[in-house]
Amino acid sequence: MIKTRKGPARLCQGDIFRGIEFIEYVMEKAGIVEISKIVFPLVIVLTQDCDLEQDHRRFKSSISQDHDKWLLSVLVAPLYNVEHVYQGEHLSELNMQMQKINPKKTPGEYLKDNRLPRFHYLEFPGNVPIVPSVIDFKHYFSVNVNYLHRVKKTKFVCSVSSLFREAISQRFASYLARIGLPELSNP
Applying CB under 8 A, which part among 27-35, 66-74, 108-116, 165-173 lies near another protein?
Answer: 27-35
Classify each residue of 62-98 as buried b or exposed e, where b means 16 or more C-beta atoms within 10 Å of its C-beta: eeeeeeeeebeebbbbbbbbbebbbeebbbeeeeeee
Q: How many residues bind another protein (CB under 8 A)?
A: 49
- Segment interacting with another protein (CB under 8 A) among 29-37, 98-106, 161-169, 174-182: 29-37
Residues 70-129 that bind another protein (CB under 8 A): 78, 80-81, 84, 89-94, 127-129
Q: How far apart are the first and last CA of the chain?
A: 48
- Judged by CB under 8 A, does residue 24 bind another protein? yes
For another protein, the closer of residues 93 and 113 by Cβ is 93
Among 94, 74, 92, smallest CA distance to 83 is for 92
149 touches another protein (CB under 8 A): yes
**Bridge-based pairing state of the strands 4-5 and 32-45:** unpaired
What is the rounded CA–CA span in Å between residue 147 and residue 150?
Answer: 5
Smaller CB separation from another protein, 12 or 111 = 12
Q: Which is nearer to another protein, 34 or 183 (CB)?
A: 34
Min CB(19)–another protein separation in Å: 9
The candidate with the shortest Cα–Cα distance to 41, out of 172, 122, 157, is: 157
Q: Decide whether 110 or 152 has the Cβ nearer to another protein.
A: 152
Shortest distance, position 100 Cβ to another protein, whole Å? 16
Q: Are 42 and 8 in contact (CB under 8 A)?
A: no
Nearest to 9 by CA among 152, 106, 137: 152
Per-residue DSSP letter, 12: -
Per CB under 8 A, residues contacting another protein are: 6-10, 18, 21, 24, 28, 30-42, 56, 59, 78, 80-81, 84, 89-94, 127-131, 146, 149-154, 156-158
